[in-house]
Structure 1
Amino acid sequence: MSVSAKTLTRERADLLETLAKHRYFLRFTAQGLTDEQASATPTTSALSVGGLIKHVTLTERQWARFAVEGASAMSGADGENDWADGFRMVPGETVESLLKAYEEVARHTDELVATLDLDTAHPLPEAPWFEQGAAWSVRRVLLHIIAETSQHAGHADIIRETLDGQKTMG
């Protein structure tokens, strides 16, 4: 956690500690992998360890922007032209570059959590997967980021175990 725990309320510290734990699990799945291994899709899924780290990075960045700017931040996320490329390593990307980008996004999110009013809410963008007219607080956005990170850390753990038997836990 990049933000000083002394400056945080108990709630903020607990939320950031939980997010940090799941970020660690996701990063751990890439430990010692070559770029080729990190981009491999050894299961019937099209997901790879590197692709999952990239996806979680892009998703966290987009939701952190939503927490500040509202629904307008959700359109055209990061200028990505190909949605599928957000789930895979493309030529020129390395495990190191993906982890560095993830670290930068994490640091920015942690700073926002330390400073934003957790009760501030923004209407969700119109989309078939969101309840019409619903709004999410900054707190709810953070809980979503935690859930997304946790879920994909589990996916990455399965992929890593398939690659070489290494497990995040156990």
Structure 2
Amino acid sequence: MSETTPSSEITDLLRVLDGQRRHVLGILDGLAPEALRQPVLPSGWHCLGLVQHLALDVERFWFRAVVAGDKDTIRGLTSGAEAWQVSPEVQATDVLDRYRQETELADAVIATTPADAPLAWWPHDLFGEPHLHTLRDVLLHVITETACHAGHLDVARELLDGRRRLVLT
């Protein structure tokens, strides 16, 4: 196996992550731009803010910063709360496109990193001592976080317009 060919384990984990990524985008498909910005819970977050969080705090942060140790990415990190804020002049399509771009950049890191490779950087100031140690650990963490947020988006969509991804009979 070459350094640019992921192991079958990583390929399998990436397939699961891709399914969750498609779920995130699929549940929002057809939702009006103003609805993407409409908070439906007392906490005030909205769908677009959650997708931006997934792009910046999840895909970019965990793969480009933590796994790859990309210095420009690390320098450009913002606080988690900022990632949830989408300026009114930012188009919804720009946020959704950025999520797609960040997943592609993450996939490039995943494709060139062995499953057991140690992480290149760890944010001690945020998390203390490392609780994740390899690409495998990060993939499992990101799958879990993305799936959790996909569920949040399912609920938000149903509250916004009644659409349910899975129709229960």
Same fold (TM over 0.5): yes
Which of the residues 135, 138, 151 maps onto 2:135?
A: 138
Partner of 1:47, secondary structure, is: coil
CA distance in 2, matches of 1:70, 1:89: 24
Per-residue deviation at 1:135?
5.2
Counting aligned pairs with the same residue, the percent is 29
Per-residue deviation at 1:69?
0.9
Query: What amino acid is the match of 2:28?
Result: A
Question: Unmatched 5+ residue regions in structure 2?
Answer: none
TM-score by length of 2: 0.83
CA distance in 1, matches of 2:30, 2:113: 36
TM-score by length of 1: 0.82
Per-residue deviation at 1:87?
1.1
CA distance in 1, matches of 2:132, 2:70: 9
- Contact kept, 8 Å, 2:49 with 2:86, in 1: the verdict is yes
Per-residue deviation at 1:160?
0.7
Counterparts in 2 of 1:4-83, with a 5 A limit? 7-59=5-57, 60-65=59-64, 66-69=66-69, 74=74, 76-77=76-77, 80=78, 83=80
Q: Is it true that 1:126 corresponds to 2:93 in the alignment?
A: no
CA distance in 1, matches of 2:126, 2:6: 36
Per-residue deviation at 1:133?
5.4
Which ranges of 4 or more aligned residues in structure 1 deviate by more than 4 Å?
70-76
Per-residue deviation at 1:9?
2.9
Q: Which moved more, 1:90-99 or 1:34-43?
A: 90-99
Aligned position for 2:145 = 148
Change (3 A) 1:135 1:94: same
**Number of aligned pairs?**
160
CA distance in 1, matches of 2:54, 2:130: 26
CA distance in 2, matches of 1:33, 1:105: 22
Query: What amino acid is the match of 1:54?
Result: Q
Query: What amino acid is the match of 1:56?
Result: L
Query: What amino acid is the match of 2:149?
Result: H
Per-residue deviation at 1:11?
0.8
CA distance in 1, matches of 2:7, 2:56: 27
Per-residue deviation at 1:70?
7.6
**RMSD after superposition:** 2.3
CA distance in 2, matches of 1:73, 1:84: 17
